Chains A and B, each alone.
Chain A
Amino acid sequence: MVDAVRAQPAISTRGLSKDYGSGHGLFALDLEVERGEVFGFLGPNGAGKSTTMRLLLDLIKPTSGSASILGLDSRADSHEIRRHVGFLPGDFALYPKLTGATVLDFLAALRGGVDRRLRDSLAERLDAELGRPIRELSTGNRQKLGLIQAFMHDPELLILDEPIAGLDPLVQQSFHALLAEVSARGRTVFLSSHTLSEVERVTQRVAILRDGGLVVVDSLENLRKVAIQRLEIEFSEAVPVEQFRDLPGVREATADGRHLIVAFEGSADAVVKAAAGHDVRAIRTHEEDLEEIFLRYYRREGAS
């Protein structure tokens, strides 16, 4: 591809919408994914993640708005875009009677051939079974074929819908390593999930989608900053709980005899310094799971 195109964001959407009626679909999505990012696209089932991916690949047409992929228009230049994109559909399916190897050969031929070594090394790393008919494979083993076909032509952009679904923990590790490698080589990865824990180790930024609308786009680091931490402090004798309630950032403080539990946002400094005025026996931390932050975004929208 020409250099001018390289400078364009990997994905850029403007008011991208797909209205399926009765409130379902995707509404006015404005999203930008930079080159070389591993970007997590999160949301509960039915939030519009797969719809977005299908729009980007021109499998379905938008009701309004537009999208550009690698600087190319998602509708007019779709054929060219698909040369440079690897796609794993959320409900990945293949000809059940054929073996994995046969189907991969077919898919490689659709691209006019791919580097056989890359395909074989992917199969080896993911421990894929290429010799058996697809109908005999477990969900996880089928998903491996889906990953191989998405990665096997070393695409500029990977669009992966629920890639981790069904993979066992060891294969998940191989997959994470693979993502880190392609990202280090400047490739862009746009992957969806309905749980944050699946992607938090591999993504730099995430977008959270709910009911077809974008709720938040931020780095994981920033999302963690607003996380609520809990400290459980054990003192040698009971302490006045009011002293902790009024500290900056503290949301809640409860005492049960010599045990104090403080929930706070941001820095732990004020809480620790206040505790230091007493005889502290033990401190236990309970960091809020990122999952909880994520669920809070879902709920906040739901409540309004």
Chain B
Amino acid sequence: MSWPVFKMALRLRLPSTASAAVGLVAVLLVVGALFPAVGHSFGKLKIPKGVADLLGGADYGTLTGWFRSEIGSIYGPLLIAAMAITGAASTTAGEEEDRILALVLAYPVKRTRLIAAKAGAIAAVVVIIAGAAWIGLIGGVALAGGGIGVLDLGAFSVHLAFFGFAMGALALAVGAATGSRALATGAAAAVAVIGWLINGFAPLVHAIAWLKYLSPFYYYATHDPLTGGVDVVDLAVLGFFALALTAVAMVRIQRRDLRA
């Protein structure tokens, strides 16, 4: 991988990553602080099963359920996917559309090493966000009165990171293959949203229940890391997709004309 490209890509993403990380920590602290006051009354809500599945069970009465539904099912993956997808799309296709890649690739930099460096920078962004999630959760749980172990919170953050790797790699692959920022962002965001819906709804209909295996959300959330720790198989699936999609990005950009 090209170190100058990695450092530059990361440098350009750092301001937005830092503010997203700080925002995430703040939200987690607030969510934790609110639990003692509202968790028990929210816990008495009767929520239809389909909606509850989309919200990570909607078990608001327990601290684990509270964090799983408030952060784990939507806010956490939404934030990390948004950072990974926009970062990957703009560092590849975005720079190509901005005519910067045409200059950088006229330097002695191999396209495969350029993609490796860009992928590394996006992975670093994802790790920063996941790390912020861990710190925020530790603080939030403490404010809520404790009850979830630091390692289980860490396991959740690791699942979050691997979900981010997969989503970022998808945007990277589409961006490298097409050179279109809109297409890269749109395709990856569509997969994230459809994956979320499939994972929530497919299990309700027996005939299409198998569809859930196609959803990145299934591997991210089904084996609840907040109670069960990391699930090695789920992480392996997400990690495999991230690496495979990065390889696709390398091959596709190699064979393609750079945009004028």
**Interface set of A (CB-CB < 8 Å, partner B):** 50, 54, 57, 59-61, 79-80, 82-83, 85, 87, 89, 91-95, 97, 106-107, 109-111, 149
Contacts and interface: CB of A to CB of B under 8 A. Distances in A.
Interface in B66-108: 98-100, 102-108
Interface in B1-19: 2-5, 8, 12
Contacts of B102: 54, 59, 89
Nearest to A55: B257
Contacts of A91: 99
A60 B103 contact: no
B108 to A, nearest CB: 5
B106 A85 contact: yes
A149 to B, nearest CB: 8
A107 B107 contact: yes
Q: Which 6 A-B pairs have the closest CB atoms?
A: A109-B4, A60-B257, A87-B106, A93-B99, A110-B107, A59-B258
Contacts of A80: 108
Interface string B187-206: 00000000000000000000
Contacts of A57: 105-106
Contacts of A83: 108
Interface of B: 2-5, 8, 12, 98-100, 102-110, 257-258, 260
B258 A95 contact: no
A110 B260 contact: no
Chain B binding site: helix, strand, loop or mixed by DSSP?
loop
A83 B5 CA distance: 16
Given A89-B103, A95-B100, A110-B2, A60 B108 contact: no
A270 B153 CA distance: 98
Nearest to A87: B106
Contacts of B260: 50, 54
B8 A106 contact: yes
Contacts of A79: 108, 110
Given A54-B258, A110-B4, A93 B106 contact: no
A134 to B, nearest CB: 11
Contact of B108 (A54, A93, A97, A110): A110
Contacts of A93: 98-100, 103
Contacts of B257: 59-61
A43 B114 CA distance: 34
Given A54-B102, A93-B103, A95-B100, 9 more contacts: A59-B105, A80-B108, A85-B106, A87-B103, A89-B106, A93-B99, A94-B103, A109-B3, A109-B4
Nearest to A109: B4
A74 to B, nearest CB: 12
Nearest to A83: B108
B111 to A, nearest CB: 10
A249 B2 CA distance: 63
Among A50, A80, A83, A91, the one with the most B-chain Cβ atoms within 10 Å of its Cβ is A91
Among B5, B105, B110, the one with the most A-chain Cβ atoms within 10 Å of its Cβ is B105
Contacts of A92: 99, 103
Among A59, A61, A111, the one with the most B-chain Cβ atoms within 10 Å of its Cβ is A59
Nearest to B103: A89
Nearest to A84: B108
Contact of B107 (A50, A54, A94, A111): A111
Given A110-B2, A110-B5, A82 B107 contact: yes
B99 A110 contact: no
Contacts of A59: 102, 105-106, 257-258
A111 B108 CA distance: 7
Contact of A82 (B12, B98, B106, B258): B106
Contacts of B2: 110
23 contacts: A54-B102, A54-B260, A57-B105, A57-B106, A59-B105, A59-B106, A59-B257, A79-B110, A82-B106, A82-B107, A82-B108, A87-B103, A89-B102, A92-B99, A93-B98, A93-B103, A94-B100, A95-B8, A95-B100, A106-B4, A109-B4, A110-B104, A111-B108
A107 B105 CA distance: 11
B12 A95 contact: yes
Contacts of B258: 54, 59-60
